[in-house]
């Protein structure tokens, strides 16, 4: 696919913009903003509305208001009986006064200075002729602030990070948007816009970042344009993929399962569950049909997807084909290899392994084995993509944890003369509406219930003060021969102050806290060999406590691990917490998950209302984890609390991300986007797009899928 000029311009790092220093670049990258395109789509999550600024005497009792005044007095007191710490701040404006009261936040007092201008934001109560506000949000103003200049103005509020104040962030964002905006052009015709009541896309982006005096309705309209845009980009991918699929040459003729499958199921140490059986019957029907299978299998961590994949692969083998399974990491690939080998040895089917670091001799032997008549299962990492062409008669490909694979890589799997059946497995429980939007080109199967006899993980949310007793608990579990994970947020190169980076804590914990236990450390920046060696030791029980980052997130299986402590749990997405927690409770042991909520009560120089906002949200989010182990329930709750944009926690999860659009809510926009995408692609194929429209359209597709994405026939 040709790269457009605009695509290249928008892919530039934010550091190209004047005033964006190395430090700021690092801070912004923590917010997920690395390129100019990231900046354009890093929308404010709310606005500060200065249109309601009033004097104290204008505030209505019982309603929300933004009250403006100068600080008259600041008092820190203690209530007599309850020993509550109180802070009272009185502000004054044209002779009328308002009193702000805070409970148990004594530090608030230090933030005020008599004579300075402030805004209180909150609900007003009347009290003794003076407006009173409990725990109002505060905006500290510059001396030259004058309400008339702000009258009716809205300022954007972005999700920010420690040591990046909202004001500074606003300034940086304004220059980034200014630089980026000219490269993001409308790709719909003015007629389409008018007909569907949509605003121009670059105007919409500009408005969302700096609405100035725009009203609610205007903002909603701009937002709607971008919701349609997000869906549009996704639908283009789905429509194109579907087109590719229709042209695929498919030759596999799978047979009705016979003796091999019966033998296989009989040698398993367990019976398949109802869900596993019904998914298998869907897969079987796909495999028997004269069209290629494109199926997404969703099943929570531990729900037993591997055995389903194995059965499907053996169905291919029994029909005279070879089958392959591709995992995102070598650790996982090796795990699959061992599991499959254990199962398949009993029924006389060979399992082969392909990995990145294979020596020339090994590779040669593998290629030679491919040529032999006896059918096999092949397990591997990305390296499979390089041997794929050499595998004769590939009847089925299983892709595990597909979200770690890029679109381009998935496309490569399909380059062959004739395509195999494809089963994609994901452990991220995606709400159904979202799954159908994101993966509209796939059929979807779900394993809902885990195998019976699994003991739900007990989950607790604690504050850091409780850690000593958590450590004691780990010691107790270790004395019973059980193992534990302690998880820290990913080591972040850009932030050296990351107080509890796994590496540092490893030192502290192994020397001071668990001197008698064997600890291991795994994080993303270690050498591969070192990482794998440590993982092996943990799996073999040579290590009792594994200190790690989210590198263990996907698929690692150590049934003897009964405890997981997740530090700074508030920083993870629920979907991610759920994935992490899925590492325990896999055996017969009662397992325990401890979520350490480090939400700071006081947030230094940070934007005024954030502690309140995030504080509430974090608690509610983490509570969901304590309440249920059902991934779909958690996914629904997360989507509701944070919207699909935040749903996957990490931008890098690789799942298509929606920032503003919510398929549960924006059903009309979804339908419209699909129509527009289909029309656009048709016009493109007929060569009917005006040059500038074509350019803008290709830019949009590249921004969504990367420049490697190939459109069929281009």
Q: CA 14 → CA 156, 164, 173, 414, distances in Å?
A: 19, 16, 10, 35
d(Cα 490, Cα 506) in Å, to the nearest integer?
14
- The interface with ligand ADP within residues 411-470 (CB under 6 A) comprises 427, 451
Does residue 272 bind ligand ADP (CB under 6 A)? yes
Please report how close the Cβ of residue 557 comes to ligand ADP at its closest, in angstroms.
6
Nearest Cα to Cα of residue 457 among 433, 435, 485, 478: 485
Please report how close the Cβ of residue 8 comes to ligand ADP at its closest, in angstroms.
40
Does residue 299 bind Mg ion (CB under 5 A)? no
Composition of the chain by helix, strand, coil, percent to 5: 45, 20, 35
Which of 100/555 has CB closer to Mg ion?
A: 555
Please report how close the Cβ of residue 632 comes to Mg ion at its closest, in angstroms.
17
The span of 265-273, 286-294, 460-468, 668-676 binding ligand ADP (CB under 6 A) equals 265-273
The rounded radius of gyration (Å) of the Cα atoms in the chain is 29
* Pair 576, 427: CB distance under 8 Å: no
Which of 107/270 has CB closer to Mg ion?
A: 270
d(Cα 549, Cα 566) in Å, to the nearest integer?
9
**Three-class HEC string of 380-403:** ECCCHHHHHHHCCCEEEEEEECHH
Report residue 60 CA to chain centroid gap.
42
Which one of 165, 270, 389, 456 is in contact with ligand ADP (CB under 6 A)? 270
- The interface with ligand ADP within residues 305-344 (CB under 6 A) comprises 305-307
Residue owning tokens 């208001």:
65
Which one of 273, 329, 381, 570 is in contact with ligand ADP (CB under 6 A)? 273
Please report how close the Cβ of residue 420 comes to ligand ADP at its closest, in angstroms.
21
Please report how close the Cβ of residue 249 comes to ligand ADP at its closest, in angstroms.
31
Please report how close the Cβ of residue 635 comes to Mg ion at its closest, in angstroms.
17
Does residue 555 bind Mg ion (CB under 5 A)? yes
The span of 126-134, 351-359, 548-556, 701-709 binding Mg ion (CB under 5 A) equals 548-556
The span of 183-191, 387-395, 434-442, 551-559 binding Mg ion (CB under 5 A) equals 551-559
Please report how close the Cβ of residue 485 comes to ligand ADP at its closest, in angstroms.
16
Which of 327/670 has CB closer to ligand ADP?
A: 327
Strands (E), 23-116: 46-49, 53-54, 64-78, 85-93, 96-103
Strands (E), 241-393: 294-299, 322-326, 350-354, 376-380
Q: How many residues bind Mg ion (CB under 5 A)?
A: 1
d(Cα 315, Cα 323) in Å, to the nearest integer?
9
Which of 306/662 has CB closer to ligand ADP?
A: 306
* Pair 624, 634: CB distance under 8 Å: yes
Residue 273 touches which member of ligand ADP, Mg ion, none, C-beta under 5-8 Å by kind: ligand ADP
Which of 232/538 has CB closer to Mg ion?
A: 538
Please report how close the Cβ of residue 333 comes to Mg ion at its closest, in angstroms.
11
Residue 641 touches which member of Mg ion, ligand ADP, none, C-beta under 5-8 Å by kind: none
Helix (H) or strand (E) holding 407: helix 407-413
Q: How many residues bind ligand ADP (CB under 6 A)?
A: 17
Which of 223/334 has CB closer to ligand ADP?
A: 334
The span of 284-292, 473-481, 553-561, 579-587 binding Mg ion (CB under 5 A) equals 553-561
Which of 254/583 has CB closer to Mg ion?
A: 583
* Pair 79, 92: CB distance under 8 Å: no
* Pair 693, 189: CB distance under 8 Å: yes
Q: CA 244 → CA 163, 251, 399, 577, distances in Å?
A: 48, 16, 19, 36
Number of neighbours of residue 231 by Cβ within 10 angstroms? 24
Q: 243-270: buried (b, 16+ CB within 10 Å) or exposed (e) per residue?
A: ebbeeeeeebebeebeebbeebbeeeee
Which of 185/583 has CB closer to ligand ADP?
A: 583
Nearest Cα to Cα of residue 384 among 342, 422, 347: 422
Residue 292 touches which member of Mg ion, ligand ADP, none, C-beta under 5-8 Å by kind: none
The span of 92-100, 163-171, 436-444, 547-555 binding Mg ion (CB under 5 A) equals 547-555
Which of 427/522 has CB closer to ligand ADP?
A: 427
Binding site for Mg ion (CB under 5 A): 555
Binding site for ligand ADP (CB under 6 A): 270-273, 276, 299, 301-307, 427, 451, 557, 586
């Amino acid at each position: 696919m040709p790269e457009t000029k605009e695509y290249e311009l928008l892919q530039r790092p934010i550091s190209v913009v004047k005033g964006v220093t190395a430090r700021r670049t690092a801070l912004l990258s923590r917010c997920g903003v690395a390129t100019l395109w990231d900046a354009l789509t890093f929308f404010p999550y709310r606005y500060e509305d200065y249109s309601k600024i009033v004097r104290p005497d204008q505030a209505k009792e019982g309603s929300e208001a933004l009250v403006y005044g100068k600080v008259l007095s600041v008092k820190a007191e203690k209530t007599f009986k309850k020993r509550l710490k109180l802070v009272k701040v009185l502000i004054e404006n044209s002779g009328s006064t308002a009193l702000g009261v805070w409970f148990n936040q004594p530090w608030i007092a230090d933030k005020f200075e008599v004579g300075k201008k402030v805004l209180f934001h909150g609900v007003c109560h009347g009290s003794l002729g003076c407006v009173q506000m409990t725990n109002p949000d505060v905006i500290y103003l510059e001396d030259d602030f004058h309400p008339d200049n702000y009258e009716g103005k809205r300022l954007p509020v972005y999700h920010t990070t420690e040591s990046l104040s909202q004001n500074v962030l606003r300034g940086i964002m304004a220059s980034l948007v200014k630089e980026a905006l000219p490269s993001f052009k409308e790709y719909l015709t003015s007629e389409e816009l008018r007909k569907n009541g949509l605003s121009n896309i670059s105007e919409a982006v500009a408005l969302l970042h700096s609405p100035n005096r725009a009203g609610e309705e205007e903002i909603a309209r701009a937002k709607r344009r971008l919701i349609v845009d997000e869906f549009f980009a996704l639908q283009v991918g789905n429509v194109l993929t579907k087109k590719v699929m229709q042209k695929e040459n498919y030759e596999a003729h799978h047979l009705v399962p016979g003796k091999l499958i019966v033998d296989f199921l009989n040698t398993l140490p367990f019976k398949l569950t109802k869900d596993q059986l019904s998914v298998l019957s869907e897969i079987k029907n796909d495999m028997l049909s004269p069209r290629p299978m494109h199926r997404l299998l969703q099943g929570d961590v531990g729900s037993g997807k591997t055995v389903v994949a194995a059965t499907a692969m053996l169905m291919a083998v029994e029909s005279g084909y070879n089958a392959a399974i591709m995992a995102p990491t070598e650790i996982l690939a090796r795990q699959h290899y061992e599991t499959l080998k254990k199962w398949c040895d009993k029924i006389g089917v060979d399992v082969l392994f392909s990995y990145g670091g294979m020596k020339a001799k090994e590779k040669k032997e593998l290629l030679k084995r491919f040529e032999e008549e006896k059918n096999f299962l092949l397990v591997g990492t990305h390296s499979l993509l390089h041997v794929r062409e050499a595998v004769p008669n590939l009847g089925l490909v299983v892709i595990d944890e597909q979200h770690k694979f890029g679109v381009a890589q998935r496309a490569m799997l399909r380059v062959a003369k004739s395509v195999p059946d494809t089963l994609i497995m994901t452990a991220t429980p995606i709400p159904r509406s979202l799954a159908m939007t994101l993966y509209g080109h796939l059929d979807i199967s779900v394993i809902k219930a885990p195998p019976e006899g699994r003991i739900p993980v007990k989950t607790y949310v604690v504050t850091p003060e409780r850690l000593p007793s958590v450590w004691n608990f780990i010691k107790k579990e270790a004395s019973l021969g059980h193992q534990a994970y302690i998880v820290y947020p990913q080591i972040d190169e850009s932030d050296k102050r990351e107080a509890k980076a796994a590496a540092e804590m490893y030192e502290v914990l192994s020397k001071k806290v668990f001197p008698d236990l064997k600890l291991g450390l795994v994080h993303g920046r270690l050498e591969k060999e070192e990482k794998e060696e440590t993982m092996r030791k943990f799996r073999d029980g040579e290590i009792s406590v594994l200190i790690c980052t989210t590198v263990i997130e996907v698929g690692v299986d150590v049934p003897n691990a009964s405890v997981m402590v997740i530090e700074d749990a508030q920083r993870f997405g629920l979907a991610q917490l759920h994935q992490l927690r899925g590492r325990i409770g896999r055996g017969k042991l009662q397992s325990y998950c401890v979520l350490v909520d480090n939400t700071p009560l006081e947030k230094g120089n940070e934007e005024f209302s954030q502690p309140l906002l995030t504080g509430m949200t974090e608690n509610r989010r983490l509570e969901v984890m304590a309440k249920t182990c059902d991934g779909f329930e958690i996914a629904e709750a997360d989507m509701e609390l944070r919207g699909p944009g935040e749903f996957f926690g990490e931008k890098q999860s690789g799942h298509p991300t929606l920032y503003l659009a919510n398929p549960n809510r924006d059903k009309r926009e979804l339908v419209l986007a699909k129509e527009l995408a289909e029309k656009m692609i048709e016009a493109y194929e007929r060569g009917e797009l005006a040059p500038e429209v074509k350019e803008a359209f290709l830019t949009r597709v590249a921004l969504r899928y990367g420049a490697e994405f190939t459109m069929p026939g281009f």
